[in-house]
Structure 1
Amino acid sequence: MNLSITDLVTEEGNWNNDALQTLFTDQAIKHFHSIKYPNPLDEDDRCVWRWTPKQTFDLKSAYANLAGSLWSPKHAIWPVIWHLTVPQRIRLFLWTAQQQKLMTSVERYRRNLSSSPSCLICCNHAEIVLHSLRDCDSPKQIWLQILPKPLVCSFFSMDIHQWLSCNLSSNFLHYSLDISRKLLSASFVWQLWKCRNDYVFNNKGISDATIIHQRLTWAKCFYGNASPSNATPLQSHSTVSKWIAPRPSWFCLNVDGFISASS
């Protein structure tokens, strides 16, 4: 029996069950009924780009759509982060955290890079950005050691946007450390994320005392750069330096900062 696709459809435009039963099993016929029957008047499927009037792709519209969904230059948190006197990589990290794009367990699970969205440190909650930086048992205990008691309640009740905006825009000095709250927060958030990754991926655990010491060292470095009058005087040298080409097979990397090996 030679049948065309039109023989499988009635004049009313429905599937022809009698014709289907002569060719297919009941299970296959159920599948036919779950899909749209062919219509000779239908046009062939084609790809369209909905962000241009002509429905054709161009790079400008793709970039505008992508950039518009990621950030806005008028967003209130953007100038707060951009004007922090911290290295550029920390600004980019803070912006990524504010956008909730850090590679947490939830995000890795969504991309099929992990078998579970649960936090690998406390194993009690799904690891979203705010959990990894503030609410997990480990970072929470560290925050509690440096927070003034009157701020504890509000500190742990804000969402990610309020939390970052409040802490990164505060110019008040810490009550006992004589460091601005925004630089202290930037240092702690950045270092907490690094320590979290060291524990998860390298199985390296660090004591709370060491973690706090490292964070305070970085915060003091940032604050010293922001307030020269409060910075520890550096030993000056009267030598004149000039660039010297490296030996063959060597590469020279120029950087704009330094850190003591003891910290």
Structure 2
Amino acid sequence: MFSRNVCSQMREELTILSGFNEASSLGKYLGVPLVGRAPKKSDFNYLINQVKTKLSAWKAKQLSFAGRVTLSKSVIEAIPIYPMMTNLIPKACLNELQKIQRAFIWGDEDGNRKYHAVSWDNVTKPKALGGLGIRRLVHMNKACLMKLGWAIRSGQEALWIDVMKGKYVRQNSSFENPIVRAHDSYLWKSLTGLLHSLNIYEFWAIGNGNSVSAWHDRWLFPGKSIEEFGIVIPDNMQQWMVKDLVNANGFWKLESLSTWLPQNIISKLFAIVPPNNNSEADRRAWSGSSDGSFTIASAYTLLCRFNDEAWDTRWLHIWRLKVPERVRSFVWLVRHDRLLTNYRKSKMQLCEPWCNHCIDIVEDTMHVLRDCPLAKVVWSNLLNDTARYSFYHTNLEDWICMNLHKELGKETNVRWSCVWAVGCHVLWLWRNRECHGDMRVRPTQLWQTILYMVQQYKQADIKSIALPVHQKVEVPIGWNKPAGDWIKLNTDGASRPRCGGLLRNSNGQWLGGFSRHLGRCNAYLAELWGVLDGLNFTYERGHKKIELHIDSNVVVQTLHSARDGGVVGWRIIQEIRRLLALDWDVKICHSYREANACADALANLGCDHGPGLRVYEQCPPKVSSLLLADAMGITTPRVVSL
């Protein structure tokens, strides 16, 4: 295979000399086409053919809607993922795959378009946003390639990175500011083309502060530098790095900075450990994940802008119903109000809007599932008497919400939400049978059929069979006194954000406490700050045997392991481990929050004072009753798994 720059005469001479035949393509390597140019749709037609071959064994009409969705995810989305990792596949190819997927899900066959109940834009949203969680392949392809770009950008070590940099990072250029030429590889062009997306969603986690500009780089706010707030920066500070914001004592220069920086920027500083020369180099962090690590899933979410929409937990309640998947999918359609009722068909000029059973009454979703006499006779035998009025006097959205969360049924051994969901599905099933000439006769006691189906699914619940059932028991939880001459340190943090903690001896006696207002950060960082402040506070008081109790299992596991706590929390973890290595004994333990009430109360006090640390030599009045309860051994019941 020759470059396009090699003339035909030279090609012929080289093939004769070498004894090889000329080829227009190198074929595939590990299942991925090797092309020396920008790929065309024809290079990836094999993906389309593979998908069609897989789906040809299945007839859409023989599968339920839920079955088609599941199959499309496992086949259509899985096949192109591998080549997506290293190739920017032409949009025409991905759009064709998406078109096949859309047609299969809605049951289109032989060019006959069926009813597409919900827009594709909604279908491809996460389930918590009202979708089915089907991936948008174009965005997924970009997210996969962004992983490669992030590996280069964050300084990871790999042979392929060295090869790419050695070949394409030219003099006076870098991956961040590349010089791209026409003859560069398509992969390199694809990666540099995604730099804008990487720039938007990255920020710096501060280590020694040597490589991050205080004003021009993003380190306080993901996606925005300080200068982008429109702040006029003094000329003598224009070239300052983050390390220059720290005074000789190792603290932020808050007094001087507060005179000209707004409070929302100053408040962010309180949650960041000031840089020092003993720390590691600054690290790039990813704003799409809580710990700052890059993941394809988080990149996909950001590219689709799903993070801009508020999650609706009512959708999640639908998908958590203990009913068959086809019933959950049906309830999903009901909440979208997209059932193909006569009213909806009349909008398409297909029929009259009237109910086939009633006279001159419009058949919409609420009528066919609740208000039709055929539905009422079923619900009247399933509902308890106190729930009847509210059941029949709400709109669709409130009706769904009520049935998902309240127990309205006569039967107490099954969940009403399951009975209601299966009941709606069965009513719709019999309505369709009667509308399409099915000769089967509707059971006179349809409610008994519904209850039987719910009971059968409950007994055959796949999860209860496949997974071991952890026995749960109620146990008393309370604060336990440390042994002998040991001192117990309890710490806590929350996302408001604040942290706090206290020291007690073996008698439960108060030895000191603290709270900190952290400005702005997440709960994970607040927990870490609580541990860091607690260890500093304890060591300064000369205690040598410490039981450190934390109610965050994630923090406990991180401190017991060799993990660095993620890109966001690594600096605090580094400081914590430095303290743990000093000349004292520290046992790190997990406590339930019921045994950590005093630390939680102190953390709440962090909201009552300004940013920074406050020390309490005497027990604050708001904590005294909790301190006494702990000393007396008062417990709180909690259900735990054995």
The TM-score bracket by the shorter chain reads 0.5 to 0.7
TM (normalized to structure 2)? 0.24
Whose Rg is larger?
A: 2
The reply to whether residue 94 of structure 1 matches residue 331 of structure 2 is: yes
C-alpha change, 1:166 and 1:70, in structure 2 (3 Å) is farther
C-alpha change, 1:133 and 1:153, in structure 2 (3 Å) is same
CA contact (8 A) 1:105 1:128 kept: yes
Which residue number in structure 1 is paired with residue 447 of structure 2?
212
Q: Kindly provide the CA deviation profile for residues 1-43 of structure 1, in whole angstroms up to 9, marking residues without a partner as x.
A: xxxxxxxxxxxxxxxxxxxxxxxxxxxxxxxxxxxxxxxxxxx
The reply to whether residue 202 of structure 1 matches residue 437 of structure 2 is: yes
Which residue number in structure 2 is paired with residue 257 of structure 1?
none
Say which of 327, 336, 340 aligns to 1:103: 340
Q: Where in structure 2 are the equivalents of 1:1-263 lying within 5 Å?
A: 66-68=120-122, 72-73=129-130, 74-114=311-351, 116-170=352-406, 172=407, 174-176=409-411, 178-203=413-438, 204-209=440-445, 211-225=446-460
Secondary structure of 2:354's partner? coil
Q: Which runs of 5+ in 2 are unaligned?
A: 1-94, 96-101, 103-118, 131-310, 466-642
Residue 77 of structure 1, CA deviation: 2.2
C-alpha change, 1:141 and 1:122, in structure 2 (3 Å) is same
Residue 175 of structure 1, CA deviation: 3.7
CA contact (8 A) 1:70 1:99 kept: no
The one-letter code of the counterpart of 2:374 is S
**Sequence identity percentage:** 23
C-alpha change, 1:130 and 1:79, in structure 2 (3 Å) is same
Q: Kindly provide the CA deviation profile for residues 33-71 of structure 1, in whole angstroms up to 9, marking residues without a partner as x.
A: xxxxxxxxxxxxxxxxxxxxxxxxxx7xxx9x8525997
Tell me how far apart the structure 2 counterparts of residues 151 and 173 of structure 1 sit (CA, whole Å): 6
CA contact (8 A) 1:184 1:219 kept: yes
Tell me how far apart the structure 1 counterparts of residues 373 and 408 of structure 2 sit (CA, whole Å): 26
The one-letter code of the counterpart of 2:431 is R
Residue 228 of structure 1, CA deviation: 5.2
Tell me how far apart the structure 1 counterparts of residues 391 and 444 of structure 2 sit (CA, whole Å): 20
CA contact (8 A) 1:183 1:223 kept: no
Higher strand share: 2
Tell me how far apart the structure 2 counterparts of residues 173 and 97 of structure 1 sit (CA, whole Å): 19
CA contact (8 A) 1:120 1:200 kept: yes
The one-letter code of the counterpart of 1:192 is L
Residue 76 of structure 1, CA deviation: 3.3
CA contact (8 A) 2:323 2:454 kept: no
* Regions of 4+ moved over 6 Å: none
Tell me how far apart the structure 1 counterparts of residues 327 and 411 of structure 2 sit (CA, whole Å): 24
Residue 150 of structure 1, CA deviation: 0.5
Tell me how far apart the structure 2 counterparts of residues 163 and 104 of structure 1 sit (CA, whole Å): 18
Q: Kindly provide the CA deviation profile for residues 123-177 of structure 1, in whole angstroms up to 9, marking residues without a partner as x.
A: 231111010000011101111111111000000011111111211234x484435
CA contact (8 A) 2:333 2:339 kept: yes
Which residue number in structure 2 is paired with residue 45 of structure 1?
none
Tell me how far apart the structure 1 counterparts of residues 123 and 409 of structure 2 sit (CA, whole Å): 36
C-alpha change, 1:69 and 1:81, in structure 2 (3 Å) is closer
Tell me how far apart the structure 2 counterparts of residues 95 and 140 of structure 1 sit (CA, whole Å): 22
Tell me how far apart the structure 1 counterparts of residues 379 and 431 of structure 2 sit (CA, whole Å): 14
The one-letter code of the counterpart of 1:124 is D
CA contact (8 A) 1:173 1:179 kept: no
The one-letter code of the counterpart of 2:395 is D
Secondary structure of 1:202's partner? coil
TM (normalized to structure 1)? 0.56
Alignment: residue pair count: 167
C-alpha change, 1:117 and 1:174, in structure 2 (3 Å) is closer
Residue 213 of structure 1, CA deviation: 2.2
Tell me how far apart the structure 1 counterparts of residues 121 and 363 of structure 2 sit (CA, whole Å): 26
C-alpha change, 1:69 and 1:198, in structure 2 (3 Å) is closer
Tell me how far apart the structure 1 counterparts of residues 336 and 124 of structure 2 sit (CA, whole Å): 7
Tell me how far apart the structure 1 counterparts of residues 424 and 350 of structure 2 sit (CA, whole Å): 24
Which residue number in structure 2 is paired with residue 22 of structure 1?
none
CA contact (8 A) 1:183 1:222 kept: no
CA contact (8 A) 2:423 2:450 kept: yes
CA contact (8 A) 1:179 1:220 kept: yes
